[in-house]
Amino acid sequence: MVNGSQRAVVTGGAGFIGSHLVEALVSRGYQVTIIDDLSTGKKQNVGKLLGDKVDLIQASVTDPSLLTKLFQNIDYVFHLAALPSVPRSIEAPLASHQVNITGTLNVLVSARDNGVSKVVYASSSAVYGDTPLLPKREDMTPNPQSPYAVTKVSGEYYCKVFQTVYGLDTVCLRYFNVYGPRQDPDSQYAAVIPRFISRALEGNPPIIFGDGEQTRDFTFVRDAVEANILAAESDATGVFNIGSRSRTTINELAKLIARLLATGVKPIYQEPRAGDIRHSLADISKARQIGYNPKYSLEEGLKETIREWHQ
């Protein structure tokens, strides 16, 4: 636990991962400022938390003067604000660049200028691209396959340079397919798990792009949150994979969700999507060195997700 004087900013804090992180920080005694333009985040994700310990500023990381003002007397910045989604970035690469690259640069400059202790940056396993070698290790050369992946690896390079040149401690967390409660199923860019659950509850078949034999390393959101706090409160700097240690085919995922929801609906298969990678699995041995130990199996995480869906 930390003392009550610790202050953090969470950019994108009204979003899916960000809102869970804000909850965890508050439970540890942090004073938290959320910066979120609510383009993909939702106020109801953090509504119950707002008050003495938590402020929500509706603003964008593309506003550098505001960031400089809000980062005063802040210990840690958790930078999760981004335009997510590979398909979205393929449709609108310029918007992805402005928020994900220029926005990250704004965050780093403001953190440097205010003497912030550390920036924890949300990166992505997308930076690895479709390199056939598994599991993915942090020392592999990035091979981005989409504008989104380019924005994430660019942010990592900026973090590294700001540490080397300006002495600003930074940690980059490469998330592998984070899922859990509050993940939006309604966006056209929705991730596979909320989309499958939502369709199953409506009695509709899951839609699988490709043959369904592609694999993913699904990471429960509370494990990802724990990684953020470990990254901030330890001496860690650099790049870390955040995954679950196991991979699952999309066909297996569809069967598991059907079993948990007791539906007999069979998937529909469509053409593969541009920019999607074939296989993904994290080597998390480096993250283990700072105490990261994922606690949730895919089935346990799905049960938690489905339980909160019904509340």
Of the pLDDT bands very low, low, confident and very high (cuts 50, 70, 90), residue 277 is: confident
pLDDT in tens, 130-159: 888 999 999 999 999 999 999 999 999 999
- 171 token code pair: 């940690």
Q: Is 49 inside a domain boundary?
A: yes
Q: Give yes or no for a contact between 124 and 174, defined as CB atoms under 8 angstroms apart.
A: yes
- Domain assignment present for residue 124? The answer is yes
**Which domain, by its residues, includes 56?**
7-180+220-243+277-295
Cβ atoms within 10 Å, residue 310: 6
> What is the count of structural domains for the chain?
1
| CATH at residue 133 | 3.40.50.720
192 contacts 250 by C-beta, under 8 angstroms: yes
Q: What is the mean pLDDT of residues 56-65?
A: 98
Q: Which amino acid is at 70?
A: L
Taking only the tens place, the pLDDT of each residue in 192-218 is 999 999 999 999 999 999 999 999 999
Task: Examine residue 254 and state whether it is found in any structural domain, yes or no.
Answer: no
The reply to whether 248 falls in a domain is no
Q: Is residue 38 part of a domain?
A: yes
Residue 107 has pLDDT above 50, yes or no: yes
Cα separation, 215 vs 253, whole angstroms: 9
Q: Is residue 47 part of a domain?
A: yes
Out of 121, 128, 148, 175, pick the active-site residue: 148
24 to 74, 201, 305: CA distances (angstroms): 17, 29, 17
Domain-located, residue 163:
yes
Query: What's the confidence (pLDDT) of residue 1?
Result: 42
Cβ-count burial of 162 within 10 angstroms (0-12 exposed, 13-18 middle, 19+ buried)?
buried
**158 a catalytic residue:** no
Contact 205, 268 (CB under 8 A): yes
Q: Is residue 120 part of a domain?
A: yes
Enter the DSSP assignment of 125: G
